[in-house]
Amino acid sequence: MMRYAIAYGCLLFLVATSEWSSGQQSPPPHQSSGSVSLCELTSAWRNYDHSTVRIEAVYASGAESSEVYDVNCPTRSDAAWVEFPEIIEKGTPPDIMDKLNQLLRSDGRARIVVVGRFDGPRKVDIPPETPPAVADLMRSVNSRYGHQNRWNFQFVFSKIEKVERVPSSDPWPNQTSEKK
């Protein structure tokens, strides 16, 4: 009886360690296959910086902006600049790309589920002896993304999974409040 218990224990140990070593253990939350809210990404950006994540958000595109935002985030500063590599169009099913393009032409925005890399503010090296006011300016401008450095965060699309129309009752990003 004892021999069977030892053998069973050894078998459980081998199975557990083989799953762990083959990478089948549960991934950390910021690399999970489930979606992460944009609000969570931006509020805890150090935990997700340069991570590949899935988000559901509103993608808005215009002449001088390309951004994702979440109507549930408390402020405008929680939006992220979007980099939309051309390869996305090749890797996304044509019906999804067609729907996205149609919604962007008609509404300027679409609710999407997208996988991509999230980037927090860039690290800015400030030379020693830099006056404090200049250092603050360097940090505020050089750490940001997009047109006129308006965004603290960046999201680089790698795969669009779902596209839907945004309800007209959902606010645009400039209709959310600013942090005080």
Read off the pLDDT of residues 114-171 as tens digits, 9 standing for 90 and up: 999 999 887 777 888 888 888 888 776 667 777 667 788 999 999 999 999 999 888 8
Q: How far is CA 2 from CA 7, 8, 41, 111, 168, in A?
A: 9, 10, 51, 59, 68
Architecture of domain 28-175: Beta Barrel (2.40)
b/e 94-106 (16+ beta carbons within 10 angstroms → b): eebbebbeebbee
Max CA separation in the chain (angstroms): 77
For residue 138, the tally of other CB atoms under 10 A from its CB is: 15
pLDDT in tens, 83-105: 989 888 888 899 999 999 999 99
Tokens matching residue 29: 């939350």
Split at pLDDT 50, 70, 90, the class of 174 is low
The confidence score (pLDDT) of residue 29 equals: 41
Match 């050089």 to its residue by tokens: 142
Split at pLDDT 50, 70, 90, the class of 20 is very low
pLDDT at 22 > cutoff 60 = no
Q: Strand, coil or helix: what is 94?
A: helix
Q: How far is CA 111 from CA 2, 24, 47, 133, 140, in A?
A: 59, 31, 25, 40, 30
Tokens matching residue 25: 């253990």
Per the document, the length of the chain is: 180
Separation of alpha carbons 178 and 50, rounded Å? 25
pLDDT in tens, 45-87: 999 999 999 999 999 998 888 999 998 886 778 899 899 898 8
